[in-house]
Each structure stands twice: as structure tokens, then as C-alpha cells.
A and B are shown apart, each in its own frame.
Chain A
Amino acid sequence: MQLKSHQECTDKIATVVFTVLGYLNIVFVAVICLYLVISGIPAIGQIGFVDFIFGTQWASTASEPKFGIMPFILTSVYGTFGAILLGLPIGFFTSVYLAKFAPLKIKQFVESTVDLLAGIPSVVFGFIGMLVLVPGIQYFFNVPDGSSLLAAILVLSIMILPSIIKVSIGAIEAVPEEYELGSLALGANKVETVYKVMVPAARRGIGVAVVLGVGRAIGEAMAVMMVAGNVANMPDLFESVRFLTTAVASEMSYSAGLQRQALFSIALVLFVFIMIINALLNLVLKERKGKK
């Protein structure tokens, strides 16, 4: 009897602790959202929503300051899109190979290398990009300076590889074996089976991989700051550009007054962007699932 009540008591305590910890997550998200909105809204109001979002000039410390963040928004969109464009095919084919074709030893080796890649801090990516990639671009494309959108895209595409590969492998491996066996029994060869049966069945998981990749690419600041040049130009492949993240990071340390508030507003815009991207992709994935 005593023992039972003791167990019950432990159970209750455990339930309370885990529930509190679970809710704590929600509290974190809520506090961050609230803080961003509260500190981001005033500057947008002061500058004017249209001038802020669609303005093409950013000169935060000029005597007549201009706070237009269209260059940052476009740069972030182009940069992320470029990184996915390069990173997705590489990551996708790597994961198909590792999940279905590679011998066990190679698979284990490559997988641990990918884990290692995921563990490299972004400042190291930035540093190597600065020392190798930037001079490389300058040399190969014969431009005056290699710090550019292209350099940022290349760095980002490598940085998003681990998340794409890992999640895609998981998705492909989660497809029931019967699908594969059934397809093979119907006379399809292995390549056909993988690309026409397994991959479509794993579509949702691969979609998640893309979301994670987009999330990482659009939110990355440090590595990008070191290779992109950070001038508020409209995006161009070989032009020095500033992302939404780097716009916040580069000016935050010495900012004051409206400039500082505007930086919070940029963070808010970035936040909204990430929410929209997540929501959109979720919607698309759900619709597809519904059709099936």
C-alpha cells in the first residue's frame, strides 16, 4: 500500500515537472514574439510601413536618415533561393545514394562526415569563405572584389547540406519496405523503384528537409556577414549585398535611437518571413497529402 502511494506520488511529480517544462517552451516562443513585436512596431510606425518595406535606400546614420529595407529583403530571398537551388540537388541525390545504393561502410563514413559538417560553427564557414572563396571568386570571375551575393550563396548552400541530407535519408528510409518489394516484383529496376516509388512516397519528409534548409539559410548571419560585403545595394550576383540578418547584426553594436529601433523592426520582418515560409510549405505539403 505504502509502495503504491509512493509510486503514485513520483508519477504525479514527474507529470507536473514535464508539463511545466513543456509549457516553458511555449513561454519562450511567446516572450520572444511579444518582445519582437513590441520593440519592432514603433519604428515602422515612425518611418511609415510603405517607406520601410519598399524603400530602396538604407542610410541609417546620414543627416537625413533613410530606412528602406527592400534591398535586404530581396537579398535574403535571392540568397536563400540560390542556396536551395544549389544545395537541394546535391543534398537530395546524396541522400538517395546513401539511403538506397551505398554499401554500408561508405554510408557510415559519409554520414559521420555529414554530422561533422553540421557541427562546424558558422564563423568557421565564414572565415574559410573569406580566405578561400572570396579571393577565388575574384580570380575566376575577374571582378574587382569577390565579396558578393554569389559568395554568400555558395557558403549557405554548403551550410544547409547537412540538414537536407539527414532529414531526406530519414524520410526515404521510413518508406515501408513493401513499396520497394512490390515495385521490384512488378519488374521495375532499382533506379526506377527508387525514383518513381520511394522518393514520391517520401515527398513529405523531403519537403521538411527543404523547410529546414530554408530556415537555416535565411537565418544565418555570421558566415554571411564575413563574405557578402554588407553594403545596402540592390541584389546582384557579383555585387556587395546585405541580408536581413546581417543588417541587424552589423549595426547593432553602435546603434542608437531610431536606428536601433529600426534594427528591431528588421528582425521583426525577418521573423514574419520565416513564419510565412513555414506556413506556406506546411500548407502545400498538407494539400498534397489530402489529394492522396
Chain B
Amino acid sequence: MKFKKTFLTAVCACAMGFSSMANAGSVITDGSTSMEKVMGMLIESFEGNGIDVTYNPTGSGSGITAVLEGRADIGLSSRALKAQEQEKLVGTDLAYDAIVVVVNKNNSLANITTEQVKDLYTGKITNWKDLGGADAPVVLIGREAGSGTRDGFESVTDTKNACKYRQELTSTGDVITTVGQNENAVGYASLSAVNDTVKVLTFNGVEASEATVLDKTYKLQRPFVFVTPKNKALSKDAQTFLDYSLSDEAKPFIVKAGVVPAKN
């Protein structure tokens, strides 16, 4: 038994030695595909310091596993860490991805609840009169499969793979234009992308704004989290990148990626 433990430790040490050797001057990040845009912005603005940052878009779960197994320096998760995961890992909020539900300006609806969103998008409610609006059919506008906004919306509202879209559009701009044109339409978009051609609904009575996103009273949001090991120090390069990403200097780039930077 003791021998086995020593052996394991030796293997681990070896693996760690190899990985740190391979990582000389480079930082490996691994995880959420939804964070592609924000990571792209960060990596692009970070370059020039001689440290090479790579990003593997594999998914939040795989990213967390990669950090646990030492295959990545920083894991990227687009959900908060579970209690069990927090035993071995530390999550640092980088930003918040806030999604708003938008309707046409002529729609009388002002607020929508989690239940109502779920009923709407799964096709349980098909007429606006069921929500106290006009007697008109609901037209569901969404994003294409693989879109980070769609993934965020569907995972927060628990409607994954159950949405009965009438249109799947490939950009936030298209969603806004379509909703702005069709009186019966309802869509979703990143908070940063909406303009005054559409009406933004309050979600469970809370208006979406940077303040309500940061104090978490606005619920239609999810965190973008940097995941690091709890009892093992980061490599110097990874720490440099992490510090940069959380610094005020990086905030404009995070905003540019369409999300709300976390306060640290």
C-alpha cells in the first residue's frame, strides 16, 4: 500500500515535471466554448509579453477536469463551480454573461418570469394572450446551435434542446432586427448588444443593468470562471496572465467581448 502511494507520487511528480517543462513560457487554458470571444480578446491584448497563451475550446466540464489532471494551467468554466469541485479547485469570476429577453416595442408585456420563459420557449404557451398580451401567436427567435448566447440562455432557463424556435439567426444584430420588425416576436441577446429598437423585458421583476448583474439580483446570467487548483501554486506565467485578465487594464477588452467584467 505504502509502496503504491510512493509510486503514484513519483508518477505524479514526473508528470508534473514534464508538464512544467513543456509549459516553459506558455500558458494552457482549456474549457468553455462560450468564452471563446472573451478569451480571444484577452489573449490578443495580452500578447507581447513573450508568454504564449493557448486556448482549447472543449467545454466547461472538460476544462475543469483538465485542471484537476494537470493538463491545463487555467480551466475555463461558464458555470459556477459545484461544492464538490470546490474541494480541490478555486473559481475566480472573470466576467458575467448577462442575457436579456427582448420583444417588439408594440408588445404590452413588461416583465417575464423564469417559468414564463420556459413555457414560451418550449412551446407550452403559443399565444401572447396567455401572458396578458394581445391575441397573437408567439414567434420564437433564437440563435444557431453552438452559439454561446444560445447555450447561456438555454442553460440558465433550463430549456436545453427543448426550444421550439421559429427562426435561428446567426448574429445578435439579426435577432434585434427581426424582433424589431415582427410584433409577435420574442428573442434573446447579450445585454451589451441591445439597442432601442426593441423592448427589453425585466426578468422576474429585475431590470438588467451592470449593477443588477454584478449584485446578482438579475438572474438571467451566468459567470465566466477561471478555475485553478487549490493546493498547487500556478506557474509564474499563468499567474501573470491571470493577474492581467483580472486587472483594470483588461476590462475594456472584456466589455468588448460583450460581457460584464467582475469586480475584484
A residues neighboring B (CB under 8 Å) = 59-63, 130-131, 134-135, 138, 144-147, 225-226, 229-231, 240, 242, 249-251, 253-256, 259
A134 is contacted by which of B144, B165, B168, B181 (Cβ under 8 Å)?
B181
Chain A residues whose CB sits within 8 angstroms of the CB of B151 once the complex forms? 61
Q: Decide if A145 touches B167 in the complex (CB within 8 Å).
A: yes
Q: Decide if A61 touches B139 in the complex (CB within 8 Å).
A: no
Q: Decide if B148 touches A254 in the complex (CB within 8 Å).
A: yes
User: How long is the Cα–Cα vector from A251 to B170 in the complex, in angstroms?
Assistant: 8
B residues neighboring A (CB under 8 Å) = 33, 36, 57, 136-139, 144-148, 151, 160-161, 165-170, 174, 177-178, 181-182, 184-185
Closest B residue to A229 using CB positions:
B167
User: How long is the Cα–Cα vector from A231 to B140 in the complex, in angstroms?
Assistant: 11
Chain A residues whose CB sits within 8 angstroms of the CB of B146 once the complex forms? 60-61, 251, 253-256, 259
Q: List 26 A-B contacts (CB under 8 A).
A: A59-B145, A59-B161, A60-B145, A60-B146, A61-B146, A63-B160, A131-B181, A134-B181, A135-B181, A138-B182, A144-B137, A145-B167, A145-B184, A146-B182, A147-B167, A225-B170, A229-B166, A231-B167, A240-B165, A240-B166, A240-B167, A250-B168, A250-B170, A251-B144, A256-B33, A259-B145
Chain A residues whose CB sits within 8 angstroms of the CB of B165 once the complex forms? 231, 240
Chain B residues whose CB sits within 8 angstroms of the CB of A255 once the complex forms? 146
Q: Decide if A230 touches B139 in the complex (CB within 8 Å).
A: no
Chain B residues whose CB sits within 8 angstroms of the CB of A229 once the complex forms? 166-168
Q: Decide if A135 touches B168 in the complex (CB within 8 Å).
A: no
User: How long is the Cα–Cα vector from A253 to B169 in the complex, in angstroms?
Assistant: 13
A130 is contacted by which of B138, B166, B177 (Cβ under 8 Å)?
B177
Chain A residues whose CB sits within 8 angstroms of the CB of B148 once the complex forms? 254
A144 is contacted by which of B145, B174, B184 (Cβ under 8 Å)?
B184
Chain B residues whose CB sits within 8 angstroms of the CB of A240 once the complex forms? 165-168
User: How long is the Cα–Cα vector from A255 to B136 in the complex, in angstroms?
Assistant: 35
Chain A residues whose CB sits within 8 angstroms of the CB of B168 once the complex forms? 229-231, 240, 242, 250
Q: Decide if B33 touches A144 in the complex (CB within 8 Å).
A: no
* A135 with B182, Cβ < 8 A, contacts A63-B161, A254-B33, A259-B146 known: yes
User: How long is the Cα–Cα vector from A43 to B37 in the complex, in angstroms?
Assistant: 27
